[in-house]
């Protein structure tokens, strides 16, 4: 049997689409093998990497991955740690050891460190096959968030909001003077002056809704310049 691609690279596929046939191809993220064919598992854009077929999804909920920096909410205080809501179907656990470098006495009140409804930035350290998730608070920039506000965005657009090496998010930061933290799980934390926050939210939503279009950076730069009156110095791209 001859190996054959049935759908071109960068095209949109829907679940069940036959992408390629032949054992020469390998199924990657979002695809699976049926007999000798490779089929699409979800809606998205096909990405051909050598002989591996991958799908970059256009929508959907957040699935936790190791090393993702996420914004989480404390939903429970446990015997020896805290349970976090990750804006996902699965919750994570922060153990005492990963929470602080301080020594915590046996039977100490854990709410001294994190209380229910606190918002934190943390990093995922482990995801089991059963989707039990461990997170850590030790690392640069990982901390409890005070004040500010949270907005939800499509998790699949997060890379676009951050931009190449953080170019998009730093452009918005520079123009509005707001502090912005983008979690991989689709939560964005914004802290700044009230009027500037409104502009920031609009800019982030604009990136989210127009993520697929070309020349987005220029569009956002023009929008920010119009709204803030500050000429946005282009962030140098390497």
Partner 1 sequence: MNNSLKQHLIKSLQKNIRYDGRKIDEFRDIKIETGVSHGAEGSARVKIGETEVLAGVKMAIEKPYPDTPEKGNLMVNAELLALSSPEFEPGPPGAKAIEIARVVDRGIRESKAIDFEKLCIEKGEKVWSVMIDVCTINDAGNLLDAAALAAITAIKNTKFPAVKDDVVDYKNKTAKGLPLSRWPITVTVYKIGDCFIVDPLSEEEDAYDARLIAAIADDNNVCAMQKGGVEPLSIEEIGKMLDIIQKIAPKLRKKL
Q: Are 65 and 184 in contact (CB under 8 A)?
A: yes
Q: Residue 168 CB, nearest distance to partner 1 (Å)?
A: 21
Q: How many residues bind partner 1 (CB under 8 A)?
A: 16
Stretch that binds partner 1, among 5-13, 30-38, 167-175, 191-199 (CB under 8 A): 191-199
Chain centroid to CA 104: how far?
Answer: 32
| Minimum CB distance to partner 1 smaller for 142 or for 201 | 201
118 binds partner 1 (CB under 8 A): yes
Q: Report the 10 Å Cβ neighbour count for 103.
A: 7
The binder of partner 1 chosen from 68, 134, 197, 208 (CB under 8 A): 197
Stretch that binds partner 1, among 6-14, 78-86, 195-203, 215-223 (CB under 8 A): 195-203
How deeply is 55 buried, as exposed, middle or buried, from its count of CB atoms within 10 A (0-12, 13-18, 19+)? buried
The CA–CA distances, whole Å, from 199 to 114, 190, 202 equal 31, 11, 5
| Minimum CB distance to partner 1 smaller for 41 or for 118 | 118
What is d(CA 169, CA 160) in angstroms, rounded to the nearest whole number?
A: 9
The binder of partner 1 chosen from 26, 43, 52, 201 (CB under 8 A): 201
115 binds partner 1 (CB under 8 A): yes
């Amino acid at each position: 049997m001859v190996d054959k691609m049935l759908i071109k690279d960068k095209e949109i596929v829907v679940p069940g689409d036959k992408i390629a046939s032949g054992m020469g191809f390998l199924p990657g993220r979002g695809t699976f093998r049926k007999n000798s064919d490779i089929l699409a598992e979800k809606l998205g854009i096909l990405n051909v990497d050598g002989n591996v077929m991958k799908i970059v999804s256009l929508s959907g909920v957040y699935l936790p991955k190791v090393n993702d920096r996420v914004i989480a909410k404390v939903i429970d205080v446990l015997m020896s740690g805290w349970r976090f809501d990750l804006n996902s179907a699965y919750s994570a656990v922060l153990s005492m050891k990963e929470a602080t470098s301080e020594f915590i006495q046996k039977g100490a009140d854990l709410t001294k460190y994190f209380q229910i409804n606190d918002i934190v930035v943390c990093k995922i350290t482990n995801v089991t096959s059963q989707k039990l998730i461990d997170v850590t608070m030790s690392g640069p920039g990982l901390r409890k968030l005070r004040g500010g506000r949270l907005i939800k965005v499509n998790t699949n657009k997060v890379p676009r909001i951050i931009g190449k090496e953080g170019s998009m998010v730093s452009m918005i930061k520079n123009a509005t003077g707001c502090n912005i933290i983008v979690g991989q799980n689709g939560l964005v934390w914004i802290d700044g002056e009230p009027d500037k926050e409104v502009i920031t939210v609009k800019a982030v939503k604009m990136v989210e809704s127009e993520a697929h279009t070309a020349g987005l950076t220029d569009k956002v730069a023009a929008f920010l310049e119009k709204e803030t009156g500050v000429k946005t110095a282009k962030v140098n791209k390497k």
